[in-house]
Amino acid sequence: MGTSTPLAVVSGGAGGIGGAVCAALSRDGHRVVALGRDPSRLARLARPVEGRVCDVTDEAAVAAAVAEIAAHEPISVLVNSAGTAESAPLHRTTLEAWNTHFAVNATSAFLLTRAVLPAMRERDHGRVVFIASTAAHAGTPYTAAYTASKHAMLGLARTVAAEVAGTGVTSNAVCPAFVRSPMTERSVRRIAERTGRGPEDAERALAEAAPLGRLVAPDEVAAAVSYLASGAAACVNGQSLVLDGGGIQQ
């Protein structure tokens, strides 16, 4: 593998989870490139994390970004953290919302993983980590598009793992319950608006949906990613690390 600084790419790197992942991987000694669509949010990332504007749902944009990022050094770690979430009963879920969830949560992971995997296999080293959700394991009301897209993401992670089994490349997923992040804050606001609950009661309802009894901290998700990206996890492949306090039996 040589002695150069390992390179990590994180999609959704300016988000709550993505930002924590970028910081953790940087502390671990990686050079980190964060991908996102909002230049202003990317500009606020703490150095030495590098921000790069890229629509990770666009095939050509992903191919160009990966080619440029990996032009001088190989990508050792890919973290598929880009995500979106909205809630609605199935009969009110629009096709546009369905397609958006799949594009952001699943297709982006497919495009990025497909782009980086050949070089990882050629070098016989690489780590691919998918930020999925407990929704990848179980269905809950009013989350048809989100849950289906996260199931797709987990299926992709497991398929990649099957293809790289026995090599120096691994593919794993981290599946947290609700995380304290801007995405969850939006969910809290929607619950409050639709139910008339106060924001604290709405947040408590989300927190109590998991045995943990509280929201997961972004740093807890980042710690799981840090482990799966490390040499200590070289024998871990095809796994779904659930962060919910013990509710889901796999």
Do 117 and 233 share a domain, yes or no?
yes
**CA dihedral over 36, 38, 39, 42, signed as positive or negative:** negative
Out of 58-67, 140-149, 201-210, least confident range? 201-210
Nearest alpha carbon to residue 13 among 77, 41, 142 = 41
Do 131 and 187 share a domain, yes or no?
no
Average per-residue pLDDT for the chain: 91
Contacts of 63 (CB under 8 A, 6+ apart): 111, 115
Q: Alpha-carbon distance 236 to 112, whole Å?
A: 21
Single pTM value for the model: 0.91
Do 234 and 115 share a domain, yes or no?
yes
Give the tens place of pLDDT for each residue, 82-133: 999 988 899 999 999 999 999 999 999 999 999 999 999 999 999 999 999 9
Give the tens place of pLDDT for each residue, 36-51: 999 999 999 988 999 9
Q: Alpha-carbon distance 35 to 14, whole Å?
A: 8
Q: What is the pLDDT, as a whole number, of residue 87? A: 84
- Contact between 157 and 173 under an 8 Å Cβ cutoff? The reply is yes
Do 185 and 93 share a domain, yes or no?
no
Q: What is the pLDDT, as a whole number, of residue 202? A: 67
Do 92 and 205 share a domain, yes or no?
no
CA 57 vs. chain centroid, Å, equals 14
Do 207 and 146 share a domain, yes or no?
no
- What pLDDT band is residue 1 in, cutting at 50, 70 and 90? very low
Domain that includes residue 185, residue range: 178-215
Tell me how crowded residue 106 is: count the other CB atoms within 10 A of its CB: 24
| Any domain includes 2 | no
Q: 């502390």: which residue's tokens?
A: 27
Do 58 and 97 share a domain, yes or no?
yes
| Any domain includes 249 | no
Cite the active site residues: 146
Query: Does 2 have pLDDT greater than 90?
Result: no
